């Protein structure tokens, strides 16, 4: 039986409550995500994609609705529990890499392990293991500013993976990368998803990147507009379906 990993029910997010211009970024959105799923979120700019994944992953708290991650309700957690939950269960990857400039690459990767109170040997071992896997061992003693964009994103991924999280949350992880690096990183995501059973929730603009997923949610005006499942389709067929969905959206512009 498939195990639920994220269960969001009727999530609504309103910004600027109490001001003269409150703005509803998400309207009653629900999602049931199972362990080992690779869900991709697409949609036009300003549709609420980032708000959606932020609200589903403890980065933001919904105004209404409930979010369960691994059976725990996010809104019931204290700040301390939430922090602990974050570094133990979730791995975040963002377009801007979000590395800590004053720490070396090694230290950047080690941060979640330090937070988890691991001992020195285990930290060193894990950082070396994950950096070997991502081919960034040579950069471990450099600072983020001394690395290329591709290397920095690999470091961000290494930091997200080093605690062996159950879910990876990625917001436009390839947004700042060239196509070669983008596909290398997506192949890695796919491998993690298929061989290690890591669940992935990812936002992207690019249909090619989205074609690596197993399910696609199309968000428009803060609501889930459509959903496509890959199921038995080849990556190419799935890609065409995604392109169709996006071009239907573009067609509306001319009607």
Partner 1 sequence: MGTFKFSMTILKKEFKKSIIFGLTMLFSISMSLVFFDIINNPHLQDTVKANGGTTFATMQLPFASSLSFVIILFCGFMIFFANNFYLSKKTGEIAILSMSGLSSFQSTLYLIYQTFALILIALPLGILLGQGLTIIMHYWIYDYLNIHASLFYTPVMTYIQTVIFVLVMMFLLCVLESGFIYRHDIQSLLMENKEMEFKDRRIIKFPYVVYGICYIGGIVMMFTEPHQSTSYIVPTFLGIYGAIGLLRYVLAKFIRKLKEGPLLTKKYALIYTSNLCQSIQQAYLLVALLVGSITSMMTIIMSCRNSYREFVVAIMGYVVVIVLLTVSVIYKFLMEAQMRKGLFYNLWKVGYTKCELKKIARNEVVYFYLSLFLIPFVYIVIILGRFVYFDHISLWFVLMMTLFYMIPLILSTIFTYIQYKKSVIDTIQGR
Could you give the CA distance from residue 181 to residue 251 in angstroms, rounded to a whole number? Answer: 31
Report if residue 98 touches partner 1, rule: CB under 8 A: yes
145 part of the interface to partner 1, by CB under 8 A: yes
Phi-psi region of 214 (alpha: psi -120 to 50; beta: other; left: phi over 0): alpha
Which of 21, 80, 180, 236 forms a contact with partner 1 (CB under 8 A)? 80
Residues near 219 by beta carbon (within 8 Å), at least 6 away in sequence = 29, 41, 42, 43, 47, 48, 49, 52, 225
User: Which of 104, 176, 181, 226 contacts partner 1 by CB under 8 A?
Assistant: 104
* Cα 13 to Cα 8: distance, rounded to the nearest angstrom: 13
Q: Are strands 199-203 and 167-171 parallel, antiparallel or unpaired?
A: parallel
Q: Which lies closer to partner 1 via its Cβ, residue 96 or residue 194?
A: 96
Taking CB under 8 A as the binding criterion, the range among 2-10, 53-61, 65-73, 233-241 that sits at the site for partner 1 is: 53-61
223: closest CA among 61, 68, 57, 48?
48
Judged by CB, which is closer to partner 1: 9, or 124? 124
| Region from 6-14, 104-112, 172-180, 220-228 binding partner 1, contact rule CB under 8 A | 104-112
Q: Are 76 and 249 in contact (CB under 8 A)?
A: no
- Mark the segment that binds partner 1 (CB under 8 A) among 45-53, 64-72, 94-102, 208-216: 94-102
Stretch of 28-36, 56-64, 194-202, 217-225 lying at the interface with partner 1 (CB under 8 A): 56-64
Q: Is 138 in the site for partner 1 (CB under 8 A)?
A: no
What is the smallest separation between the CB atom of 126 and partner 1, expressed in angstroms?
12
Q: Does 115 bind partner 1 (CB under 8 A)?
A: yes
Q: Is 79 in the site for partner 1 (CB under 8 A)?
A: yes
Phi, psi of 119 (to 5 degrees): -85, 165
213 close to 39: Cβ distance less than 8 angstroms: yes
* Site residues, partner 1 (CB under 8 A): 58-61, 79-80, 82-88, 92, 96, 98-104, 106-107, 110-112, 114-115, 117-120, 123-124, 143, 145-146, 159
């Amino acid at each position: 039986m498939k195990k639920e990993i994220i269960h969001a029910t009727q999530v609504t997010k309103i910004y600027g409550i109490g001001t003269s211009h409150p703005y509803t970024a998400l309207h009653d959105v629900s999602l049931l995500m199972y362990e080992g799923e690779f869900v991709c979120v697409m949609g036009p700019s300003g549709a609420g994609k980032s708000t959606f994944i932020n609200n589903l992953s403890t980065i933001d708290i919904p105004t209404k609705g409930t979010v369960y991650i691994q059976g725990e309700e996010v809104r019931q957690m204290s700040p301390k529990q939430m922090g602990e939950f974050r570094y133990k269960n979730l791995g975040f990857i963002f377009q801007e890499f979000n590395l800590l400039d004053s720490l070396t690459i090694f230290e950047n990767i080690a941060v979640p392990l330090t937070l988890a109170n691991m001992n020195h040997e285990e930290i060193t071992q894990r950082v070396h293991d994950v950096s070997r896997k991502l081919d960034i061992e040579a950069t471990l003693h450099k600072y983020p500013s001394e690395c290329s964009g591709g290397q920095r994103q690999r470091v961000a991924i290494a930091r997200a993976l080093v605690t062996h999280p159950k879910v990876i949350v990625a917001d436009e992880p390839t947004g700042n990368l060239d196509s070669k690096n983008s596909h290398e990183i997506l192949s890695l995501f796919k491998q993690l998803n298929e061989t290690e059973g890591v669940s992935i929730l990812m936002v992207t603009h690019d249909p090619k990147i989205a074609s690596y997923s197993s399910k696609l949610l199309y968000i428009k005006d803060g609501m889930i507009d459509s959903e496509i499942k890959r199921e038995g389709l080849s990556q190419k067929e799935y890609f065409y379906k995604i392109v169709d969905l996006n071009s239907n959206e573009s067609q509306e512009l001319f009607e």
